[in-house]
């Protein structure tokens, strides 16, 4: 199965999102996915198997529990493939970062100007009394 076939399913993407925070038991994954997607525990197990069989996750036994973790290798392959397309969004994200920085600088300048004029006004009021 191709990586994008695996990642094309929202349930499998959600499982990977959960695992991005660290290793989790199959039961903990199932509880979240069942609540969010309304699918059965065997359905969740099937998605976990697809992820495992395609190399996106690893699993280890700890007593009766099965602990899943992300295997980053297939995701790195996807990242490499996406490299050819980054030119479409990277300049826009850079421009957005620039505009956000300008906005923060503008707010700081306005706040500093406002604070100093408030201080000056307070000083003049003190002189009038």
> For residue 33, is it within any domain?
yes
Q: Contact 25/44 with Cβ under 8 angstroms?
A: no
Q: Please report which confidence band the pLDDT of residue 120 belongs to, taking 50, 70 and 90 as the band edges.
A: low
Give the structural domain span for 93: 73-112
pLDDT score recorded for residue 121: 59
CATH code of residue 11: 1.10.10.10
**In the numeric block, which tokens belong to residue 90?**
């990277």
Residues 66 and 23 both lie in one domain: yes
- Domain tally, the chain: 2
> For residue 118, is it within any domain?
no
> For residue 122, is it within any domain?
no
Q: Please report which confidence band the pLDDT of residue 119 belongs to, taking 50, 70 and 90 as the band edges.
A: low
Terminus-to-terminus CA distance in the chain, angstroms? 82
> For residue 119, is it within any domain?
no
Q: Please report which confidence band the pLDDT of residue 125 belongs to, taking 50, 70 and 90 as the band edges.
A: low
Residue at which a domain ends, from 46, 70, 94: 70
* pTM of this structure: 0.67
> For residue 126, is it within any domain?
no
Q: Please report which confidence band the pLDDT of residue 20 belongs to, taking 50, 70 and 90 as the band edges.
A: very high
Q: Please report which confidence band the pLDDT of residue 129 belongs to, taking 50, 70 and 90 as the band edges.
A: low
Distances 29 to 4, 43, 65 between C-alpha atoms, Å: 21, 12, 12
Q: Contact 30/18 with Cβ under 8 angstroms?
A: no
Residues 53-110 pLDDT 10s:
999 999 999 999 999 999 999 998 888 888 888 888 778 788 888 888 988 888 887 7
> For residue 16, is it within any domain?
yes
Residues 30 and 83 both lie in one domain: no
Residues 9 and 66 both lie in one domain: yes
């Amino acid at each position: 199965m191709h990586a994008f076939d695996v990642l094309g399913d929202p349930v499998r993407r959600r499982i990977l999102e959960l695992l991005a925070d660290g290793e989790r038991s199959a039961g903990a994954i199932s509880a979240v996915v069942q609540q969010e997607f309304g699918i059965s525990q065997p359905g969740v197990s099937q998605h976990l198997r697809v992820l495992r069989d395609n190399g996106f996750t690893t699993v280890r036994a700890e007593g009766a529990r099965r602990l899943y973790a992300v295997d980053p290798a297939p995701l790195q392959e996807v990242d490499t493939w996406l490299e050819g397309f980054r030119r479409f969004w990277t300049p826009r994200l850079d421009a957005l970062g620039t505009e956000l920085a300008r906005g923060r600088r503008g707010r700081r300048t306005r706040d500093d100007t406002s604070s100093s004029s408030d201080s000056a006004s307070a000083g003049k009021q003190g002189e009038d009394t």
